[in-house]
């Protein structure tokens, strides 16, 4: 059974986005999916993957920033404001 679409992709968790992508893949792997439906699912999946990549890039930037703050603290510098 396919998982439902998240109400708002912008507010969905990374895990919910990945779960929906996996659901779309499962649907598209079924041989009885109509071509037009497959294209619609594909479009949705591409959008979801872009959102997930954007979220990961933001998380990575946060980690990099936190590591720099930690390095500054170790060097005895004050934290940036």
What mean pLDDT comes out for the span 55-71?
Answer: 91
**Residue 22: predicted pLDDT:** 96
**Residue 34: predicted pLDDT:** 92
The predicted-structure confidence for 14-56, as pLDDT tens digits, reads as follows 999 999 999 999 999 988 989 999 999 999 999 999 999 999 9
Name the pLDDT band for 1 (thresholds 50, 70, 90). very low
- Cβ-count burial 26-51 (b if 16+ within 10 Å, e if not): eeeeeeeeeeeeeeebeeebeebeeb
**Residue 79: predicted pLDDT:** 52
């Amino acid at each position: 059974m396919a998982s439902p679409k998240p109400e708002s992709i912008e507010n969905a968790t990374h895990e919910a986005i990945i779960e929906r992508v996996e659901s779309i893949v499962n649907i598209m792997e079924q041989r009885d999916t109509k071509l037009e439906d497959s294209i619609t699912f594909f479009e949705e999946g591409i959008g979801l993957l872009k959102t997930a990549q954007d979220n990961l890039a933001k998380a990575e930037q946060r980690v990099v920033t936190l590591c720099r703050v930690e390095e500054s603290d170790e060097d005895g510098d004050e934290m940036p404001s």
